[in-house]
Structure 1
Amino acid sequence: MTDAFGRAIRDHARGGRDEPLLHRDGGETVEHPIESFYFTGFDPEANAGDEWLASQLKGPLVDLGAGAGRHALYFQERFETVALEPSPALVETMGDRGVDDAREGDMFALREQFSRDRFGSALANGTQLGLAGSMRGLTAFFGDLAHVTAPDATAVLDCYDPTHPATADLVGYRDDPTPGLAHRVTFFEYDGETDPILRFRLFSPDRLREAAVGTDWTVSEVVRGDAGTEHHYRAALRKRDDG
């Protein structure tokens, strides 16, 4: 399996990247902003968005799609944090950067990797939630996430909102006639290597709430991005109180 995406970020972290990481959809090509996306410090004391995110989470934490460890490096100083990432090169990068528990794994196969009630919180930051692929896939993910988290667990997920006009400008955007849903089809290329095509499903906040119906989760809060990024949102989830 190719790992152009992970290799580019690893090379950047080690100071050896001479080529851009390209984000592509057919002939549409943009350079992926590695430094700002993966190596900007996470600082709740200086950034309101970071403060909100930190306030939603508790330990033990599983960081799903942890990238270069931006969040894991912060949270592991406060409570146990497991950083899960499918890219071998990114697992190496996190180890290089001091992440204590960086593991290669799949966020859509949580039951196979962790025991019941293992975590107090979960974070999936980076819109990889869209790789669930469908409303049914999203509901199944909620079920697996419930299995590996405690009864009073919380989670933070993020996505691009297809009901916002700016979302249509994303690389690989595909419209959908179903309200609140869209697609995104993209791939990464780096130094002559091309990764497999990524097929994302984009869910509006209302669709996220709908997918959670019948699961252990409820969407407790939705926070939009800052000016210019309002099409991106984060959703805080909590386990339902059936008592």
Structure 2
Amino acid sequence: MDVELIVESLPVLWQGALLTLELFAITMVLATLLAVPLAIVRVQKAWWLRWPVEVFSQVFRGTPLLVQIFIVYYGIAQIDAVRDSWAWPYLRKPYWCAVITFVLNTTAYAVHIFRGAIQAVPHGEVEAGQAFGLSFGALYRHVILPRAMLLALPAYGNEVIKTIKRTSLASAITLSELTGVANTLVARTFAPYEIFIAAGLIYLAFAFAANHLVRRLEHRMSRHLRHLPAQHGTGPMPT
């Protein structure tokens, strides 16, 4: 193994890593903004509200991400209305096709996570909010969502790390993110072992940083729970 080649390739790979971080950040921000309201819709009793969200979630969770990327990248160009629209100068570019696919895919998984977290909020807390006369919006804003976000953080942290790794599939549609740059270097150096080890180290660093940030966020959001008095079990009264 050529350790010197691994070290020398890191600065070049970092140029692709910047695009990886950009794709990841845009995906997580937009997916979270979409997933929260969709999760609220998903838990409603009206079937005509929740079923479209469930179908969307099942379709994107049940098909490979690579297939989704190819459908968006190659399929959009087949729609005449899209080619004639104002959006075509953007949708013809692989960058925006990758962003759209990543956002939709991550949203589908995030909806599933947030839906479970909302349903896991203790019913007593919801009843307490209702007893105070909170409206539907105020109840979610002040009671349900803060609690659900804390409950969802461990699973959502895993989704964050998975999203970092999913961005590598953008190289399949010619984007020069981290994996794309690694493929280019392999073609030049004929050293796939060293190049992909270097790329793997960068992905590992990103995953470690994301995991650390999620843990810090979880610790910060749960600080009020650490100040609660300890609950001691009550035994039989002495005679």
Q: Smaller-chain TM-score range?
A: under 0.3
The TM-score with structure 1 as length reference comes to 0.22
More helix per residue: 2
Larger radius of gyration: 2
Q: Larger % of strand: which?
A: 1
